[in-house]
Chains A and B, each alone.
Chain A
Amino acid sequence: MAGLIGMYAAITGIFLRESPLLVPALACGMVCTACGLLVALAWPDELALFFLAQPLVFTSWEIGPIVSLFLEIGVLVLFLAAQGYLATPGDIPSLGFFFLLLGGLVLFLMTSRHVAIPLAITASTAGLAALVILGIASLLVTRVAGGSHGETKER
């Protein structure tokens, strides 16, 4: 993941060479790469490296939102693989669906001039999804507390 951060710093440096954002992007890339190396060597933590890659994804938005999307997908794939979320082939469809949603979000943001409407839609969708997941978990806890597997319905 630290190598990926360095690569992202180089990509943003190359593509933003004629932009006024070159100096801040290079500074950000250097800092993030240094921190990434430090974390990877001293205290390897995938979530910390995921956070360190985010400023580079942020600056790559200036190159193009699609570039940002692909860079973010790269970070996510590495992070989820490190967490053991790509251990079985059954995980790929759910991950594909998640990346499709991200693509849809990028397309929606590209067509928007202000954040108000996309922000409202994204936040409310995330809130609803969180409620559904918590509801399913709560139902699961209630079922096992009330009886053994599959007995709750019979009772």
Chain B
Amino acid sequence: MKATPRSAGLFLASLLLFLFSWLFDSLPALFLAGTAAGLLLLCAARFTLSIRVAGATLHVSRTAAPFILKQGGLVAVTSRVILALPPGLSARVSDIPPPGAPVVKGSPHSPLLSAGTHEIELSYAISCLSSGQLSFWGVDLTLCNGLFSLTLPFRGKDFKGPTLCVDPVGRYRSSTGPGVFGEREVESRQVFRGYGIRSFREYLPGDDTRSIDWKLSAKHGKLYIREYAGLAGKSPLLVVDLPDGAVSCPENLRDAVIGAALDVSREMCRSPRGCSLMVISGANLLSYLPDERSFARVEKVLREFHSPRRVIQCYRTLDPAIAESFRQRIEGEGEGDTFSLGLREIYSRFIPAIEPLPFEVQCARALSRRSDVVLHVLTTGTGDPSHLVLLGLQARRRGIEAYLGIPETAGTASLAGRLTGMGYSGVKVIG
């Protein structure tokens, strides 16, 4: 409870009168001091009772649109506040936006309300700079009378809704075509079943009757059929590699990868083939959604595994084929050298005992599901890249094109160089 200058004056007068009565042994001064102190306490007690009554009548219903948006997007918020104030009390209602979402338009504060029943509407806009699930902070009700003021911070769940789903920003694009992964419209003799119409021509025996354009045929008195254009390209398999939640990783890297994955998968879900998504964290397969058409399911998976815990940790894991190449290189280089002999012996004993990781088996199955697959791996590029090497090699063995997307801020040129030689055709930057 805060004192206003008036109540401070009353308190000071009471204190001075108490001092005066004590110094001059004055009974009337003590009476006046007691009266002033009693008046102050009476007003305080009355104020406390009034704010209880006013607080109990506060009801807030808030709407926000859109509630699913990208980082940095604007949200229009409308809060309807119902409040009944007892006589002698005035109030101001402040809607508190979520943390990391400053108000950019309008005001979340109400004007000063006098006694009576009020139904007001607060309209303002916020810019969501943070990502994730953002809840409103609550409502502040500042009540005052002539002598005191108090702010009641309403932070219950009734005052926190609705929750905003803010997707982090990230962009992973190929520049070779208009499709998400560089698919482009082509004209060929192959029959496409797409949405775009390339041209019309006269009907020839053997043409699909479903392609006949009846409107054009009726106009010209001859049968015309539509020639379709469609997207030609391979089926993309999107792999999202998320860093270990137990190890510190810059949030902007994680957000860039998830943002790019959401951006890409949103468009993939709209395509006829759907979105094939594999969420991994190191050599741990967390989720695999083949040909998924529901973006909500994809989004749920990506949010669920935002900060995963790695059960299997890889560190400089060797593939048997690479180990064998190392052994052969040693054989060719250091003849007679004891160190080389020892190392060769170790490799010779070690290589037959290497067993494929469950992750490798899972990757092999996912990659062999379709013949026309192209692999796109989005990773933060932090930690040991063994799992990326294993994935790249699996792709290369099946003749699958593989691309790697790394956030611009990761700045791992050496990692990109190393992985390019491990089965990846190219490294792209996530913007």
| A and B: interacting chains | yes
Are B21's CB and A115's CB within 8 A? yes
Contact A144/B27 with A88-B87, A102-B34 known, Cβ cut-off 8 Å: no
Q: Interface SS of chain B: helix, strand, loop or mixed?
A: helix
Are B32's CB and A54's CB within 8 A? yes
- Which of B55, B156, B158, B159 has a CB less than 8 Å from the CB of A140? B55
- Chain A 109-146 interface mask (CB, 8 Å, partner B; 1/0): 10010111011001100100110011011001100111
A residues with a Cβ closer than 8 A to B are: 47, 51, 54, 57-58, 61, 65, 68-69, 72, 76, 79-80, 83-85, 87-88, 91, 94-95, 98, 101-102, 105-106, 109, 112, 114-116, 118-119, 122-123, 126, 129-130, 133-134, 136-137, 140-141, 144-149, 151
Are B38's CB and A126's CB within 8 A? yes
Instruction: Report chain B residues within 8 Å CB of A106.
Output: 31
Are A147's CB and B150's CB within 8 A? no
Instruction: Report chain B residues within 8 Å CB of A151.
Output: 156
Are B155's CB and A115's CB within 8 A? no
- Which of B27, B46, B156 has a CB less than 8 Å from the CB of A148? B156
B residues with a Cβ closer than 8 A to A are: 1, 6, 9-10, 13, 18, 21-22, 25-35, 37-39, 41-46, 48, 51-52, 55-56, 86-88, 115, 145-146, 150-159
Are A58's CB and B46's CB within 8 A? no
Interchain CA distance A80-B30 in the complex, whole Å: 21
Interchain CA distance A46-B35 in the complex, whole Å: 16
Interchain CA distance A134-B44 in the complex, whole Å: 9
- Which of A84, A98, A118, A149 has a CB less than 8 Å from the CB of B30? A118
Interchain CA distance A94-B33 in the complex, whole Å: 20
- Which of B1, B33, B154, B158 has a CB less than 8 Å from the CB of A122? B33
Instruction: Report chain B residues within 8 Å CB of A95.
Output: 42
3 interchain residue pairs of minimum CB distance:
A84-B88, A61-B28, A148-B156
Are B31's CB and A133's CB within 8 A? no
A98 to chain B, nearest CB (A): 5
Instruction: Report chain B residues within 8 Å CB of A85.
Output: 43, 46, 88
Are B38's CB and A141's CB within 8 A? no
A61 to chain B, nearest CB (A): 3
Chain B residue nearest to A138 in the complex (CB)? B1
Are A47's CB and B27's CB within 8 A? no
Contact A149/B55 with A84-B88, A137-B150, A144-B154 known, Cβ cut-off 8 Å: yes
Instruction: Report chain B residues within 8 Å CB of A80.
Output: 42
Are B29's CB and A146's CB within 8 A? no
Are A115's CB and B26's CB within 8 A? yes
Are A115's CB and B1's CB within 8 A? no
Instruction: Report chain A residues within 8 Å CB of B31.
Output: 61, 65, 68-69, 72, 105-106, 109
